[in-house]
Amino acid sequence: MENLIVDIDIMGMELPIEKGPILIGGAGNSRKLYIESYGCAMNFADSEIVISILQQEGFATTTDFALADVILLNTCSIREKAEQTIRTRLHQFNKAKKNKPALIVGVLGCMAERLKEKLLEEEKIVDLVVGPDAYRDLPNLVKTVDDGQKAVNTFLSREETYADISPVRLNSNGVSAFISIMRGCDNMCSFCVVPFTRGRERSRDPFSIVDEARSLFEQGYREVTLLGQNVDSYKWSPNTDLKGKLQIERSAETAIVSFAHLLARVAEIHSDLRIRFSTSHPKDITDDVLHTIKKYENICNYIHLPAQSGNSRILKLMNRTYTREWYINRVDAIRNILGEACGISSDMITGFCSETEEEHQDTLSLMDYVKFDFSYMFFYSERPGTLAHKKLDDNIPLAVKKRRLSEVIMKQKTLSHQRNIGDLNKVFKVLVEGPSKKSDEFLQGRNSANKMVVFPRHQLSKGQYVHVLVRECTSATLIGDIV
């Protein structure tokens, strides 16, 4: 999954948007946990795992941090702004800590992994620091703090996938859910901290993934999003040393399971279970995946394919391991196999190290060629410890970065509007997710291409599929009537 994101109003996609807090909980009579999640969708999914682990230890959850015995922040470290948001939030918890000295405050996730023990020194309010692969140790770490000591576990694992833990989806809409299919990243993009904060790539076994998806469908969920830093490199081998109740089934498995195979297995659970996935890497997405999407109506025709830049020299500096021409080849394959209606979104970085004005224009021209439905756009922000920080000069003035970003944003807004105009007078199958943001008289849901569609409520309920004729649009939304 790609990162470094600016959330702007023309995006329709749910991930990976940096936002928070996401409050998970309801009240209980036992020791209470309050948790906030920031960053990519993987963090939100991880918080559901954390809650599951601590509920097994007798914790209840609360949406009011003033009532909490333990406060946890699941953090993002992708941009400096993301870390500053966490520090500001910690300072806001300082008063609660003073009023309740026994209150435990912990930092989880990527910021915890990047700063480790240093975080305890910088933020005196913090009692425990836990990296993304150490959540099973949370009960022991909480006990350590109860005994009067600070606690840290930032061990990065080559095996941990949390495959045997059933996430607690207390903050879900009951319709859509995330399923983590892999963890870590082996790509070393020069601007990105993820390989250093989430460790090496490893794939979760397909049996537990299919079981989780089937269970969600039986509970009434109608859409799952398969998550990974780079889903196209998902690969599970039967030779992997695995544990648990599925060991007999696994012993009969003889072939390596690719992402295309996994998609098909999940799609075959039920035709009413819709499947999305994120994020694809341009160097790895295969025609097999595209043909699998085409074969199954319930696999959404939408691909998040981060470009980052439209210039081959800049892509090489970013260590993206593909060229402009390769990216265009993959886009052409998507259009040839899935058609023009397939939604494509991207990530874009402006002002990367040494980027010239002509190279910036290459990014704008790539956007014109692809005609992205929406994008995540931001100017380059150097992160400590990355390859770019160590080897490249961040030499583009901030004013130039921001001006180029503004041009990219305006370009994307125009393209989004053009793509939505092309959907006028067409009928789309839409999964009802709930009331629209602006009026309870209307409902909203997304079509297969991941575009938000708004329509009159009638007598519909969330989780139903409806067909909507689009009559109006903005750059962000399709508006129509049920047919």
- Report CA-CA distances (Å) from 57 to 60, 101, 252, 276: 9, 22, 35, 33
Domain with 51 in it: what CATH number? Answer: 3.40.50.12160
Q: What is the pLDDT of residues 247-296, one digit of tens each?
A: 434 444 557 999 999 999 999 999 999 999 999 999 999 999 999 999 99
Q: Has residue 10 been placed in a domain?
A: no
378 shares its domain with 432: no
The last residue of a domain, from among 421, 450, 469 = 421
Tell me how many domains the chain contains: 3
Residues 60 and 112 in one domain: yes
Q: What is the CATH number of the domain that holds 235?
A: 3.80.30.20
Strands (DSSP E) along 404-476, which ranges?
Answer: 427-435, 442-446, 452-456, 465-473
Helix then strand count (H, E) for the chain reads 16, 21
Would residue 160 count as lying in a domain? no
Helix 398-421 and helix 357-370, axial crossing angle in degrees, nearest 10: 10
pLDDT below 70 — which residues of the chain? Answer: 1-29, 240-254
User: What pLDDT does residue 170 have?
Assistant: 78
Residue 63 lies in a domain: yes
- List of residues 6+ apart from 121 with CB closer than 8 A: none
Q: In Å, how far from its chain's centre is CA 315?
A: 22
CB 181 within 8 A of CB 226: yes
Last residue of a domain, which of 376, 395, 421? 421
pLDDT for position 253: 52
* Tokens of residue 289, six digits: 């995946």
The model's pTM? 0.90
The C-alpha atoms of residue 64 and residue 57 are separated, in whole angstroms, by 20
Please work out, in degrees rounded to the nearest 5, the angle formed at the alpha carbon of residue 116 by the alpha carbons of 113 and 121.
Answer: 145
Q: What is the per-residue pLDDT for 30?
A: 84
269 shares its domain with 350: yes
pLDDT of the residue at 477: 97
Does 416 share its domain with 449?
Answer: no
Residues 6+ apart with CB under 8 A from 319: 187, 188, 189, 190, 387
Pairwise CA distance, residues 483 & 470, whole Å: 10
Q: How much is the pLDDT for 10?
A: 30
Verify that 132 and 246 share a domain, yes or no.
no
∠ CA 81-116-233 to the nearest 5 degrees?
75
212 close to 218: Cβ distance less than 8 angstroms: no
**405 in the same domain as 309:** yes
Q: What is the pLDDT of residue 78?
A: 85
Q: Which amino acid is at 40?
A: C
What is the side-by-side order of every strand in the sheet holding 223-227?
176-180, 223-227, 274-278
In a domain, residue 163? The reply is no
Which residue range forms the structural domain that includes residue 228? 176-421
Final residue of a domain: which of 393, 421, 449? 421
Residues 383 and 293 in one domain: yes
Q: What is the pLDDT of residues 166-181, one digit of tens each?
A: 999 977 899 999 999 9
Same domain, 225 and 354: yes
Do 417 and 449 belong together in one domain?
A: no
Q: For the CA atoms of 352, 353, 354, 356, what is the dihedral angle to 10 degrees?
A: 0
At 449, which CATH number? 2.40.50.140
Q: What is the pLDDT of residue 80?
A: 85
Q: What is the number of other CB atoms lying within 10 angstroms of the CB of residue 475?
A: 19
Task: Calculate the alpha carbon distances from 10 to 90, 118, 333, 432 in Å.
Answer: 31, 38, 26, 21
Do the domain assignments include residue 21?
Answer: no
Q: Which of 34, 5, 9 is nearest to 21 (CA)?
A: 34
Angle between helices 357-370 and 324-338 (to 10 degrees): 10
Residue matched to tokens 């990243």: 185
The pLDDT, as a whole number, for residue 15 is: 34
Neighbours of 129 (CB within 10 A): 27
Same domain, 383 and 444: no
In a domain, 158, yes or no: no
Same domain membership, residue 380 and residue 447: no
Residue 47 lies in a domain: yes
**For residue 220, which of 445, 447, 404, 431 has the smallest C-alpha distance?**
431
Same domain as 455, residue 321 = no
Query: Do 265 and 298 contact (CB within 8 A), yes or no?
Result: no
Cβ atoms 38, 24 nearer than 8 A: no
Phi, psi of 255 (to 5 degrees): -105, 150
Q: Which of 126, 15, 18 shows the shortest CA–CA distance to 72? A: 126
Please check whether residue 162 lies inside any domain of the structure.
no
Q: Nearest 5°: phi and psi at 64?
A: -120, 110
Helix (H) / strand (E) element for 370: namely: helix 357-370
**Angle (deg, nearest 10), helices 138-146 and 41-55:** 70
Pair 229, 182: CB distance under 8 Å: yes
Can you tell me the distance from the alpha carbon of 222 to that of 218, in angstroms, rounded to the nearest whole number? 9
Contact present, 86 and 111 (Cβ < 8 Å): yes
